[in-house]
């Protein structure tokens, strides 16, 4: 399954935040939208960075709640690794496993067009495996 097919199954678009937003504000946003990461962008198109719940937990653990008034740009990971609409779920799984992160912004011609989480990839693979199983069962049973 390719990224463009996975994107069609997702209802919500990608959530972006400006680099000037505070860590407290982005935490509230991620909590209310029930998401684990946001793309940091000044114009909603170019991905300047990515901020995941892990970054917030790391800062809280290292510096305490004083980090809540810091800006997103202070704690984000700059220049995030992205994927394209034509990449496959298998390729994404490999990148996520090797790089040890769970989110990949989808970038097309330098413009952010979506976000794929590890949950989306697992769901896509499970659905592929179910289809493969059905096809193989059909072949064995002669259907």
Residues in the site for ligand AMP, rule: CB under 6 A? Answer: 36-37, 50-55, 77, 80-81, 101-104
Nearest residue to ligand AMP by CB is 52
Number of neighbouring beta carbons within 10 Å of residue 20: 11
The strand ranges marked E within 60-132 are: 77-78, 103-108, 111-117
Q: What are phi and psi of 14, to 5 degrees?
A: -80, 135
Measured from the CB of residue 63, what is the shortest distance to ligand AMP in angstroms? Answer: 15
Measured from the CB of residue 54, what is the shortest distance to ligand AMP in angstroms? Answer: 4
Measured from the CB of residue 108, what is the shortest distance to ligand AMP in angstroms? Answer: 15
Of 53 and 108, CB closest to ligand AMP: 53
DSSP 8-state assignment for residue 55: H
Measured from the CB of residue 37, what is the shortest distance to ligand AMP in angstroms? Answer: 5
Of 44 and 138, CB closest to ligand AMP: 44
- Angle at which helix 23-33 crosses helix 53-63, to 10 degrees, equals 140
Residue 78, helix vs strand vs coil: strand
Of 50 and 124, CB closest to ligand AMP: 50
Of 78 and 138, CB closest to ligand AMP: 78
Residue 122, helix vs strand vs coil: helix
């Amino acid at each position: 399954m390719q990224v463009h097919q996975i994107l069609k199954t997702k209802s919500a678009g990608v959530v972006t935040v400006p680099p000037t937003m505070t860590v407290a504000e982005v935490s509230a946003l991620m909590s209310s939208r029930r998401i684990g990461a946001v793309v940091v962008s000044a114009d909603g198109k170019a991905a300047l960075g990515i901020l995941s719940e892990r970054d917030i937990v790391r800062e809280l653990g290292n510096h305490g709640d004083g980090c809540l008034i810091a800006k997103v740009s202070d704690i984000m990971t700059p220049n995030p690794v992205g994927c394209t609409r034509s990449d496959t779920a298998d390729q994404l799984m490999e990148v996520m496993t090797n790089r040890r992160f769970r989110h990949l912004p989808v970038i097309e011609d330098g413009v952010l067009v979506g976000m794929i989480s590890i949950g989306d990839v697992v769901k896509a693979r499970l659905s592929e495996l179910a289809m493969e199983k059905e096809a193989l069962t059909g072949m064995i049973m002669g259907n």
